[in-house]
A and B are shown apart, each in its own frame.
Chain A
Amino acid sequence: MTDNVIEVRGLLKLYGVTRAVDAIDLDIRRGEIFGLLGPNGAGKTTTILMLLGLTEVSAGTVDVLGFDPVRQPLEVKRRVGYLPDAVGFYDHLTARENLRYTARLLAIPRRDAEKRISDAMESVQLADVLDKRVSTFSRGMRQRLGIAEIVMKKAEIAILDEPTSGLDPHATFELLEMIRGLKKVGVAVLISSHLLDRVQSVCDRVALFNHGKIALMGTVVELANKVLGAGHPILVEASGIDIAAALRGVEGVQTVVAEGEGGWRVVADRDVRASVAQRIVSSGGSLTRLADLQPSLEEVYTRYFQEQRHAA
């Protein structure tokens, strides 16, 4: 077997006649962060629930760490940590009591459990609220408590459903850092999200999901090359001369498109920032901004489905 922790073949989920998940194939490799991205209703949560054996599979096979979630859900759930969409805890209990209950369900010996709980809470920076009731926790703290639960479980795979939704930018940043932390200790992470740009930075590979199907799968750069065309996009803001003409004269530049007030989006076959700057300055223009544009998943996504619609 390869180094895949999750292997999905032809996975199908029917709700009546609607195909919530339509015969998808998916591999998650050991130690990577994989993003399952797509709009609401794409079928991400349904896929996740089938991986965990929490909802019936209509057809297809799933292999999680060598176990079949349909027949051996307990084995799967012992090894996989799950942070549901809008996770809830028992509000009348403290964080420690909540985790203790999970530890008992996992049959972790009591003495071990206390140590594991405090270590896990330490790792998500919640050690100071260990004995506070969860009812006092903010949304971000609850999400972190969910991560702590996965850390305590010593899961080999972490499945996080919309972990950043409803979080402010700072809390999102912190949470993404914690997800990177999971990867550092060798956990394979599967993140689902409808906020493509928020999570693209942490994902090693992504799958773009729509209407129950995986439209595209690969690294962000691969997808961008495939959909937006190969090339290196940069953003130029300058004035004083005929910028478009000046830019077109730079070697390697393929396209120049006006973008906003006094801005141009330039795609070249290599990083042309240095020569662009030189050209503008030497021809007497004033350069106000020169930025390397990361390919944006949002853009990849929009463009891809626009093309699909045109093709149809």
Chain B
Amino acid sequence: MLRKPAQREGSPFTGLSPVFMKEFADHLSSARMMVLMLFVLAFGAFPVASSLQQLRTVTEQDAFLFLRIFTSAPDSLPISFVFALNFIIPIMAIGLGFDAVNSEFNRRTLSRVLSQPIYRDALLLGKFLGGLATLAVALTALWLIVFGAGLLLLGLPPRGVEVARAACFLVTAIAYGGVWLAISLLFSVIFRSTATSALCSLGLWLFFFLLWPMIASAITLGVAPSQIRSAEEYLAIEQVGLVLARFSPGTLFSEAVVGLLNPETRTFASMLPAQMRGVIQGAPLPLNQSLILIWPQMTGLIAGMIVVFAAAYVIFQREEVRA
């Protein structure tokens, strides 16, 4: 008696661009965006300023001096700019996405908008892309500010390869933001209350930042034999820990960033003496080698973003539109 969902006609992307434009414009002009930017500047300015201070006094030759602005942590406060980004980006993304869908319910605009010739697909994707574009604009602005400050204070231009690596870093940061944007969008679809949705997103963020590293190491210790007999065994156990840690998007982001901004990075685990044969310690990898190194992390971030978005999509399709 019940019939199967019939094949629907018309492109699922009909109306995508007006939704995207509206979301993007709304975000850019919102007070919330101003607050987020201030927040980012406050947290980003200090590490950048102090690392610049320190780098100006460095006299030894460093081929990647410019990249050190991003990664070096001042002695006074062991927080580098990228570390700050690691926890600021999720907050920005959550701030942009936590009320994306449920606010339309609460304002009772959803059924009116969906009664226009548009599928839910376009609405959700438009909201996601609008948020992602906003995030990209904000991060690019921040990136340019840091770059400009570097130019002014270090007084020497970055080399081409440094610019390329820093640009890859920017892309990674946007992808990392995309993961958290998708997560907050998912909660905004699940919960009608914006407060609950924000709370869940922030809760998950806290979980990954505070709890997950501890849980991962506890599990690793649990599976480890009481006596480690060989270096191989040690590495195998270390590998378990790494894999567990990589469930957190923050780990993927920081590994990718390390690979990009520290060109000397060859692996994220320890190396056996046998593997080190023929490796010149401290010699930088060419960019394409570094990209190959971080490729799994990048795909992990993008796949995570897609999976979470798909979950939000499936739930949203089934949701009743009436408030």
Shortest Cβ distance from residue B168 to the other chain A in the assembled complex, whole angstroms? 35
- Mark A263-304 against chain B: 1 for CB-CB distance below 8 A, else 0: 000000000000000000000000000000000000000000
A104 interface hit (Cβ, 8 Å) = yes
What's the least CB distance linking B308 to chain A, in Å?
Answer: 25
**Cβ of B117 < 8 Å from any Cβ of A?**
yes
Which chain A residue shows the least CB distance to B105?
A88
**Are A74 and B14 in contact, CB atoms less than 8 angstroms apart?**
yes
Instruction: Among A87, A91, A105, A106, find the residue whose CB has the most chain B CB atoms closer than 10 A.
Output: A105
Nearest CB of chain B from residue A62's CB, rounded to whole Å: 12
Shortest distance from the beta carbon of B291 to any chain A beta carbon, whole Å: 39
| Complex alpha-carbon distance, A59 and B9, angstroms | 19
**Cβ-neighbour of A75 out of B10, B21, B109 (below 8 A):** B10
Cβ A106 vs Cβ B117 within 8 A: yes
Contact status B116-A105, CB under 8 Å: yes
Q: In the complex, are the beta carbons of A59 and B108 less than 8 A apart?
A: no
Convert A57-87 into 0s and 1s, putting 1 for each residue whose CB lies closer than 8 angstroms to a CB of B.
1110000000010111111011011111111
* CB atoms of B10 and A88 under 8 A apart: no
Contact at A104–B18, with CB atoms within 8 Å?
A: yes
Interface residues on B, range: 20 to 34
Contacts of A58 in B (CB 8 A): 1-3
- Which residues does chain B contribute within 8 Å of A83, judged by CB atoms? 112
Is A89 positioned at the interface, with any CB of B under 8 Å from its CB?
yes
Within the complex, which residue of A55, A59, A90 is in contact with B107, where a contact is CB–CB below 8 Å? Answer: A90
CB distance from B114 to the nearest CB of A (A): 6
Tell me whether A77 and B115 are in contact in the complex, defined as CB-CB below 8 angstroms, given that A55-B321, A88-B109, A90-B109 are known contacts.
yes
Q: Which residues of B contact A70 (CB under 8 A)?
A: 6, 8
Q: Does any Cβ of B come within 8 Å of A56's Cβ? A: yes
Distance between B111 CB and nearest chain A CB, rounded to angstroms = 4
Closest Cβ neighbor of B321 among chain A residues: A54
**Is residue B322 contacting chain A, with contact meaning CB distance below 8 A?**
yes
B8 touches A105 (CB 8 A): no
Tell me if A87 and B112 are in contact (CB < 8 A): yes
With A82-B112, A84-B108 known as contacts, the answer to whether A74 contacts B2 (CB < 8 A) is no
Cβ-defined contact, B114 with A54, below 8 A: yes
Residue A59 contacts which of B3, B18, B116 (CB distance < 8 angstroms)?
Answer: B3
Q: Check B1–A59 contact: CB distance below 8 A.
A: yes
| CB–CB B322/A45 < 8 A | yes
Let me know if B113 is at the binding interface, CB within 8 A.
yes
Q: Mark A84-109, 1 if CB is under 8 A from B, else 0.
A: 11111111100000000110111100
Measured between beta carbons, the chain B residues less than 8 angstroms from A73 are 8, 10, 117, 119
Would you call B159 an interface residue if the criterion is a C-beta within 8 Å of the partner chain's C-beta atoms?
no
Contact residues of A between 82 and 139, Cβ < 8 Å to B: 82-92, 101-102, 104-107
Q: How far is the CA of A190 from the CA of B68 in the complex (A)?
A: 67
Pick from B3, B108, B117, B118 the residue with the most CB of A within 10 Å: B117
Min distance, Cβ A79 to any Cβ of chain B, angstroms: 9
Chain B CB within 8 A of A146 CB: yes
CA distance A57 to B8 in the complex (A): 13
Q: Which residue of chain B has its CB nearest to the CB of A46?
A: B322
Q: Within the complex, which residue of A52, A59, A72, A75 is in contact with B115, where a contact is CB–CB below 8 Å?
A: A52
In Å, the complex CA distance between A71 and B2 comes to 16
Contacts of A75 in B (CB 8 A): 9-10, 117
- The residue that B118 contacts in the complex, of A56, A82, A105, with Cβ under 8 A, is A105
- Are A101 and B10 in touch, CB under 8 angstroms? no
On B, residues with C-beta under 8 Å from A are: 1-3, 5-10, 14-15, 18-19, 21-22, 26, 107-109, 111-119, 320-323
Q: Could you list 11 further interchain pairs (A-B, Cβ under 8 angstroms) beyond the known A82-B115, A91-B107?
A: A54-B111, A59-B2, A68-B6, A75-B10, A82-B111, A82-B112, A86-B108, A104-B18, A105-B19, A107-B117, A146-B112
Closest 7 CB pairs of A and B: A88-B108, A104-B18, A82-B115, A74-B10, A105-B116, A84-B111, A74-B117
A–B pairs, 27, beta carbons within 8 Å = A14-B2, A49-B321, A52-B115, A54-B114, A55-B321, A59-B3, A70-B8, A71-B6, A73-B10, A74-B10, A75-B9, A80-B115, A81-B115, A84-B322, A87-B112, A88-B108, A88-B109, A89-B112, A90-B109, A102-B116, A104-B18, A105-B15, A105-B19, A105-B117, A105-B118, A146-B112, A149-B112
